[in-house]
Structure 1
Amino acid sequence: MKIIKGLAALFTAAMLAAPALAEDYPTRAVEFIVPWSPGGGSDTLMRLVSANIEPHLGVELPIINMPGVGGTVGLREASRRDADGYTVSQVHEGLLMATLTGLTELTWEDFEPIALMTASPQFLITKSTDSYSNFDEFVAYAKERPNELTMGVTLGGLPHLFAAMIEQAYGLKFKYVGYEGTGERVRAAVGGNLDLIIGDVASSLEFAKNGDLKFLAAGSAERHPAVPEVPTFREKGEDMLLTVTRGIVMPKGTPAEVRNVMEAALQKLAQDETYIKQTNNVGSQVTFMGQDDYRAYLANLDATVKSLASVIVQ
Structure 2
Amino acid sequence: MKTVSRVVAAAGLAIASLNAPVLAQDYPSKPVEFIVPWSPGGGSDTLMRIVAGNVTPYLGVEMPVINMPGVGGTVGLTEASRRDADGYTISQVHEGLLAATATGLTELAWDDFDHIALMTASPQYLVAAADQPFDTMEGLVEYAQANPGELTIGVTLGGVPHLHAAMIAEAFDIEWRYVGYEGTGERIRALVGGNLDLAIGDISSSLQFAENGDLVFLASGATERMAQTPDVPTFMELGADLDLSITRGIVMPAGSPEEAQAAMEAALMELSQDPTFVEQINNAGADVAFRGREAYSAYLANLAETVERLAEVIAP
TM superposition score category, shorter chain reference? over 0.9
Partner Cα distance (1:203, 1:211) in 2: 14
Structure 1 residue 14: deviation in Å? 9.1
2:239 to 233, 237, 240: 237
Give the SS at the match of 1:44.
helix
What amino acid sits opposite 2:137 in the alignment? F
For residue 32 of structure 2, what is the aligned residue in structure 1?
30
1:313 to 303, 312, 315: 315
Structure 1 residue 275: deviation in Å? 0.6
Partner Cα distance (2:214, 2:16) in 1: 59
What amino acid sits opposite 2:160 in the alignment? L
Give RMSD over aligned pairs.
Answer: 1.8
For residue 215 of structure 2, what is the aligned residue in structure 1?
213
Q: 1:310 to 1:130 in 2, by over 3 A?
A: closer
Partner Cα distance (1:245, 1:18) in 2: 35
For residue 306 of structure 2, what is the aligned residue in structure 1?
304
- Runs of 5+ unmatched residues, structure 1: 1-7
Partner Cα distance (2:106, 2:125) in 1: 26
For residue 66 of structure 1, what is the aligned residue in structure 2?
68
For residue 111 of structure 2, what is the aligned residue in structure 1?
109
TM-score for both structures, normalised by structure 2: 0.93
* C-alpha contact (below 8 Å) 2:121/2:247 kept by paired residues: yes
For residue 4 of structure 1, what is the aligned residue in structure 2?
none
* C-alpha contact (below 8 Å) 1:30/1:87 kept by paired residues: yes
For residue 199 of structure 1, what is the aligned residue in structure 2?
201
What amino acid sits opposite 2:245 in the alignment? T
Structure 1 residue 26: deviation in Å? 0.2
Matches within 5 A, 1:157-306: 157-306=159-308
Give the SS at the match of 1:268.
helix
Structure 1 residue 129: deviation in Å? 2.0
Give the SS at the match of 1:216.
strand
State which drifts further: 276-285 or 31-40. Answer: 276-285
What amino acid sits opposite 1:245 in the alignment? T
Matches within 5 A, 1:31-110: 31-110=33-112
TM-score for both structures, normalised by structure 1: 0.94
Structure 1 residue 278: deviation in Å? 0.7
Partner Cα distance (1:74, 1:312) in 2: 21
Partner Cα distance (1:259, 1:140) in 2: 51
Give the SS at the match of 1:189.
helix
Structure 1 residue 258: deviation in Å? 1.2
* C-alpha contact (below 8 Å) 1:33/1:74 kept by paired residues: yes
Deviations 1:149-205 (A, max 9, x none): 111111100000000111111111111111000010010000010111111001100
Partner Cα distance (2:260, 2:16) in 1: 15
Q: 1:14 to 1:162 in 2, by over 3 A?
A: farther
Matches within 5 A, 1:106-145: 106-145=108-147
Structure 1 residue 313: deviation in Å? 2.9
* C-alpha contact (below 8 Å) 1:19/1:257 kept by paired residues: no
**1:146 and 2:161 aligned:** no
- Runs of 5+ unmatched residues, structure 2: 1-8
What amino acid sits opposite 1:248 in the alignment? I
Q: 1:17 to 1:197 in 2, by over 3 A?
A: farther
Partner Cα distance (1:132, 1:21) in 2: 61
Structure 1 residue 15: deviation in Å? 9.2
Partner Cα distance (1:56, 1:106) in 2: 31
Partner Cα distance (1:142, 1:234) in 2: 19
Q: 1:172 to 1:17 in 2, by over 3 A?
A: farther
Give the SS at the match of 1:245.
strand
What amino acid sits opposite 2:31 in the alignment? A
Give the SS at the match of 1:115.
strand
What amino acid sits opposite 2:224 in the alignment? E
* C-alpha contact (below 8 Å) 1:91/1:247 kept by paired residues: yes
